[in-house]
Structure 1
Amino acid sequence: MSIFALSAGWAVAAAVEQARSVAGRAKMGDVTGVDFAPILLVLGDEELLATRAVTEAVAKARSVDPDVDVREYQAGALTVGEIAEMLSPSLFGGRRVLVLRSAQDARKDLVAALLGYARNPDPDVQLVALHLGGGKGKAFADGLRAAGATVVPAAKVKGHRERVAFVREEIRRGGGRCTDDAADALIAAVGADLRELAAACSQLIADTDGRIGAETVARYYRGRVEVSGFTVADATMIGDVPAALEALRWALHVGVDPVPIADALADGVRTVARVAAAGRGDPYQLASSLGMPPWKVKNAQQRSRGWTPEGLVEAMRAAAECNAAVKGGADDRGYALEKAVFSVAAARRGSAR
């Protein structure tokens, strides 16, 4: 099965064969409740939501066929001949998913060919089109929608009310429940960045029983702080011990709970290890196979410089010991975090020898 994520416009698929197509709208960036749709249109310019939609589409395809063929292309660089070859029936059968990014940049002849295909799509091929929305390439997106493509909204989350809705939905997706005042408190503590909010929601669910109230958030994030566990982790992974310690001590001083800091440090080490093991490559190409957003792959590629496999093993051991100490009720959790910063940085220095 090949997954072709066709940036912004390809979600125009199966209107002609209504039995195959799944018309309608999913929740923000969420395709978990969507059956295999011949054409999936991811519409919007919020990278986190768009990347999540692609990742979930690929995961759903692989759950049906582990050998699914997943490929990604930039719409502006494709020709009609190339797309015809991609969409032609395979001699060996099997499903395919084709991810087409920046569908709004597709040329007119390519748009015409794709809209023609959308009238009678191959049931074994899923086209995932990522379109930024807006005026550019609007006819393409409209055409796919009219053809019956499943539309996954991925527009920028704007305003406080939308962010509250985003936080509540994130908690729900993780199997928890969240009140409006808890969402307000989390936004005040973590900030408006969706990536930080999504990570904070995941940590809260993992470290609690899933029922998130304002008092839960207050326990983990006291006050509005300018640093987070990610700040500590980022500085640690590049070996900047002074910056990491400064961020850590400030976070603890203003009342940030040690648990999300330990989680962020472990996630930082784990992410660099996974990306480093995948080798060099285009972040967008690696994103699907790694199940990460491209921005996270790119950042990890930059932080992986200077690390060796042996050093990363040592860093993972240090992060695991820190997590065990912090979550196991160590007498001095701040000391456990500082020790982890020094240990991870030492592992990186050992890599440089």
Structure 2
Amino acid sequence: MAAKTTGKTVKKASVSVDQVAWHQIRPAPVVLVSGPEQFLADRAVRQLRDQLTAEDPSLEVNDLEADHYQPGELISLASPSLFAEPRLIRVSSVEKCTDAFLTETLRYLESPADDTYLVLRHGGGVRGKKLLDALRSGLGGGFEVVCAELKKETEKLDFAAAEFRAERRRVTSVALRALVTAFNDDLAELASACQQLISDAADEITEATVEKYYAGRVETNAFKVADMAIAGRQGEALVLLRHALSSGADPVPVVAAFAMKVRTMAKVQGSYGPSGQLASRFGMAPWQVERAQRDVRGWSEDGLGRCIELIAETDAAVKGAERDAIYALERMVTAVATRGSLAR
């Protein structure tokens, strides 16, 4: 039977449920969110939560990790509460699920609970195939949200254009192409850049607007420099920084990228629990929590504190507080690459 996708119809004999793009998600007893693009998956699930909350602010939200699932958890969360609030159950890592999760979820699909919305996130692979086949055959009365990786430039251009269109902001085709070129390797950073440009007061986003914020990012961007420094690769980070500056990069966005990364790391340091719960607590997306948790491994609280202070000093330096902005930037990169040990 034909499965619905965005823009075209693809025949899949084994699929009898709707297959839609991330922005077409809607409430259903069971929703399978599949595919490798975690950023789009997070957005889809967040959009569904917002839809359900708008319908009923008393929505109860719970998170499960399928790879650490304990028998009875799903049934417990899906059981009617005292005040009969609607429930959203978000399940991560279905591609690594336990046998108990497979068994109990297949049983649950035979008779989903009333006023309960079960979202299953499967990143890919063969684990859980029996469950996927059951969902795609229609068991549970749900549908599938396909979050495929955006590989082609045209796909990323369409994505960026949709970001501006959703906010009713005008953007030129040249500006769109420049933006996609600058952030071609990370969809999350592309989305963040779009949102920053949307907040600009200009009537129309042009190539000049993009250059104002992200000059030099086409060849080397600030986040690449920050990632290299956080990974402890001091020499490579300094080379990338110098290349970015020689390509015309403005020092201010470079410092901003470091500030965003390090402050996010500071938020998650010492925090434990499912990424979904931590994301809700900190006002972040789950992928941001997971990335920050990886980045902060091996850091001390003192080291983070010293780097945050130095980044603030560097921000002032590149805005005129010091005579040598380049030296201030290199000092910041060195401090971060050494996890704060050379912050002073």
Equivalent-residue separation in structure 2 for 1:175 and 1:328 (angstroms): 36
Match of 2:215 in 1: 221
Residue pairs, 1:74-93, within 5 angstroms: 74=66, 81-91=72-82, 93=84
Matched-pair identity in %: 36
Q: Equivalents in 2 of 1:210, 1:276: separation in Å? A: 40
Q: Determine the C-alpha separation between the residues in 2 that align with 1:65 and 1:350.
A: 49
Q: Which has the higher contact order (CA 8 A, sep 6+)?
A: 1
Q: Deviations over 1:181-206 (max 9, x none)?
A: 32222222332431332233234345
CA distance in 2, matches of 1:328, 1:61: 48
Checking the alignment, whether the CA contact within 8 Å between 2:28 and 2:143 is kept in structure 1 is yes
Alpha carbons 1:272, 1:303 under 8 Å: kept = yes
Q: Which residue of 2 aligns with 1:199?
A: 192
Q: Which position in structure 2 is the counterpart of 1:140?
A: 135
More displaced stretch, 216-225 vs 178-187? 216-225
Question: What's the counterpart of residue 262 of structure 2?
Answer: 269
Counterpart CA distance in 2 for 1:320 and 1:133 is 41
Q: CA deviation at 1:164?
A: 0.5
- Residue 333 of structure 1 deviates from its aligned partner by 4.7
- What pairs with 1:176-187 in structure 2 (closer than 5 Å)? 176-187=169-180
Q: Which has the higher mean CA deviation after the structures are superposed, 150-159 or 185-194?
A: 150-159
After TM superposition, give the deviation of residue 342 of structure 1 in Å: 4.6
Query: Aligned in 2, Cα 1:141/1:101: closer, same or farther, shift over 3 Å?
Result: farther
2:291 to 289, 292, 299: 299
Aligned partners of 2:226 and 2:151: how far apart in 1? 28
The equivalences for 1:3-152 within 5 A come to 28-29=22-23, 39-58=30-49, 65=57, 68-74=60-66, 81-91=72-82, 93-101=84-92, 107=102, 110-117=105-112, 121-123=113-115, 125-131=116-122, 136=129, 137-143=132-138, 147=141, 149=142, 152=145
CA distance in 2 between partners of 1:230 and 1:84 (Å): 43
**CA distance 1:78–1:307, change in 2 (3 Å):** closer
How many aligned positions are there? 318
Structure 2 contact 63–276 (Cα < 8 Å) conserved: no
CA distance, structure 1, for counterparts of residue 47 and residue 211 of structure 2: 32
Alpha-carbon contact 1:314-1:344 (below 8 Å) kept: no
Query: What is the correspondence of 1:146-161 to structure 2 with a 5 Å cutoff?
Result: 147=141, 149=142, 152-161=145-154
Which residue does the alignment assign to 2:160? 167
Q: Aligned partners of 1:294, 1:262: CA distance in 2, in Å? A: 24
Name 1:246's counterpart in structure 2. Answer: 239
Q: Cα offset for 1:51?
A: 1.9
Q: TM-score, normalised by structure 2?
A: 0.72
- 2: CA distance, partners of 1:115 / 1:324: 61
8 Å CA contact 1:241–1:345 kept in 2: the answer is yes
Q: What's the counterpart of residue 12 of structure 2?
A: none
- TM-score, normalised by the number of residues in structure 1: 0.70
Once residues 116 and 343 of structure 1 are traced to their aligned partners in structure 2, the CA distance between those partners, rounded to angstroms, is: 56
Q: Is the 8 A contact 1:276 1:304 kept in 2?
A: yes
Partners of 2:91 and 2:121 within 8 A in 1 = yes
Moved more, 320-329 or 135-144: 320-329
Deviation at 1:207, TM superposition (A): 5.8
Tell me whether 1:338 sits opposite 2:333 in the alignment: no
Native 8 Å contact 1:204 1:210 kept in 2: no
Distance in structure 2 (CA, Å) of the matches to 1:174 and 1:324: 32
Contact in 2 for aligned 1:170/1:198 (Cα 8 Å):
yes
Which consecutive residues of structure 2, in runs of 5 or more, have no partner in the other structure? 1-16
